[in-house]
Amino acid sequence: MARHEVFKDVGESLAGLVRLEAKAQKLDVDVVVGPPDAAFFAGKKGAIAVYLYDFHYDRNVNQEGEETQVDVTDDSGTYTILYGRPLILEVRFLVAATGKTPADEQVNLGLAVKAFFERPALAAGTKAGRSLPGHEMPVDLDEGFTAERKWTMLQSLGVTHHVLVGYRVHAEMKPERELRRTRKVERRSIELFDRHRPPEGKGEDAERPRPKPAKAK
C-alpha cells in the first residue's frame, strides 16, 4: 500500500467529485489536478483546476488518533501487528476555473462549488487510490483562505485576478513502522478430575468414538 500518496489521492478524489457533477449537468469541461497558472488560464477550452497549496498539522488533533491492529498470515504463521497512530493533516486545496468567456468561467466555477455542496464528503466509491481511510472525509470550505491569501497565490502563479475558492480535508497518513508483532498461538484447554471418581462420560471406561468401517472395494 502506497501510504505516502495521500496528497495525490485526496486531489484525485476531489477532482472526481467535480467530474461527477459535470457529467450530471452534461457539461464538457476538463478537470485537472494541478496549478491554475498562466498556461491554465490561457487554455481555449473550459477547465477546472484542483490544486494542493498547503497543509496544516495540529498536535492536539493528532493525540486523538488511535493505534491499529492488523492480523497477517505468512509461511511462518499468523501474527498480530500493532501500528502507531496515523499522522492527521488538514490538507488545503484551491479550486479555479476558466472558460472561453468570463461568463463561462463563472459557470464552471459554480459547477465546482456545487459539486462539493452536493457531495460534502469523500465516501466509499468516490475515493481514489488506496491510501485514504475507510471513514468518510468531509470536504469543507476553508474560511482561512482569505482575500489576502488568494492574492498571494495569484501572484505566485503569475496570473491576473481570478476567483479562487479554498477547501480543506482532514486526511490521515498511516504509519508502516510496527510497534509490536506477536504470534498468534492456538489455545487448548485441559480438564482435570479425580480418576477414581470421574464425571459421567469421562475416565478410562468412557465410550470412545469408534472409527467408521472401511468401505468394501
Domain residues for the domain of 151 are 3-183
Answer whether residue 195 shows pLDDT above 80: no
Residue 189 counted as domain residue? no
- pLDDT tens per residue, range 135-192: 899 999 999 999 999 999 999 999 988 999 999 999 888 877 777 778 766 666 666 7
Residue 139 counted as domain residue? yes
Residue 131 counted as domain residue? yes
Of the candidates 33, 48, 41, 47, which has an alpha carbon nearest to the alpha carbon of residue 91? 33
State the Cα–Cα distance between residues 49 and 152, nearest whole angstrom.
17
Residue 217 counted as domain residue? no
The total number of structural domains in the chain stands at: 1
State the Cα–Cα distance between residues 148 and 154, nearest whole angstrom.
10
Residue 130 counted as domain residue? yes
